[in-house]
Structure 1
Amino acid sequence: MFGKKKQPPIRSLIAHGSKISGEIKFSDGMRIDGEVHGSIRSNEGSPSILVISETAVVKGEVYADHVIVNGRVEGPLYAAVLLELQPKARIAGDVRYAALEMHQGAVIEGQLHALTTAAEKTVLTLAANNR
């Protein structure tokens, strides 16, 4: 999805020094430099990108297509397409991802779960049966 296509633009920013409490829903792209207490979700139906910068702290659930983390997340994280963990990323919670890129220094305190589609499971099952 993000390989050759243009990524959605960053249209929203939570600036360094800002603290937001509550549920956040966004379209296209969002960058967080401040602190969020509550869930962050991209709107369904269109590609999304979420950037959690080095100065950011998120305490709650995170759901987006493409997630880039270089700050701190305390809660479950779901990346439907790609999760990029930069060197200063700290995640305390379970992580679900379709594809994962993790740089040296990133830390996850939780379980990693790769997302698979029903078609991928079927292909794996058929391949196992054709010995």
Structure 2
Amino acid sequence: MFKKKKGSQRIDSLIGHGTQFDGELRFAGGLRVDGIVAGNVVAVDAQHGTLVVSEKARIEGGVRATHLILNGEIAGPIEVSHYVELQPKARVHGDLTYKVLEMHPGAVIEGRLIPLDGAKVITAAEVPAGAD
């Protein structure tokens, strides 16, 4: 439904700016949050659950996803089974469990980083060409 650009993760659902959702939010495929979610956000498919949290968005609860692209704020524990990208305005208030972590300058984590088995932190020099 929503596509950003060729090669990017597909976004199937959107919580728009100015929208607040209260309660546990379960999603499949891709979810973009531009508003506020007060409750847990959980991908129901352990293999294909991409969550994008935009700059002005906030999640107040736990997050479980396959991929996470964060430029907003999450207040709660985060568990990402594959790839996390913390963009420059990302704010994490809680523990972050990850497999692969990319953290841009300016991103802030107030909590522990907990690597999964085989976890890796990549630097800007190691990002594959064409990956955004």
When normalised by structure 1's length, the TM-score is 0.82
* Alignment: residue pair count: 113
Which ranges of structure 1 fall in alignment gaps of 5 or more residues?
1-5, 121-131
Partner SS state of residue 96, structure 1: strand
Native 8 Å contact 1:28 1:49 kept in 2: yes
RMSD over aligned Cα, in angstroms?
1.5
Percent identity over the alignment is 45
Shift of residue 48 of structure 1? Answer: 1.6
Please give the per-residue CA displacement for 1:73-127, whole angstroms capped at 9, x wherever unaligned: 000011100010000000000000000000000000000000016xx9xxxxxxx
Native 8 Å contact 1:13 1:30 kept in 2: yes
Structure 1 letter corresponding to 2:87: Q
Provide runs of 4+ in structure 1 moved above 3 Å: none
Partner of 1:22: 23
The structure carrying a bigger strand percent of its residues is: 2
Please give the alpha-carbon distance, in whole angstroms, between the structure 2 residues aligned to 1:42 and 1:32.
13
Please give the per-residue CA displacement for 1:58-77, whole angstroms capped at 9, x wherever unaligned: 00000000000000100001
Partner SS state of residue 80, structure 2: strand
Which ranges of structure 2 fall in alignment gaps of 5 or more residues?
1-6, 120-132
Partner of 1:61: 62
The structure carrying a bigger helix percent of its residues is: 1
Please give the alpha-carbon distance, in whole angstroms, between the structure 2 residues aligned to 1:68 and 1:106.
12
Shift of residue 7 of structure 1? Answer: 5.7
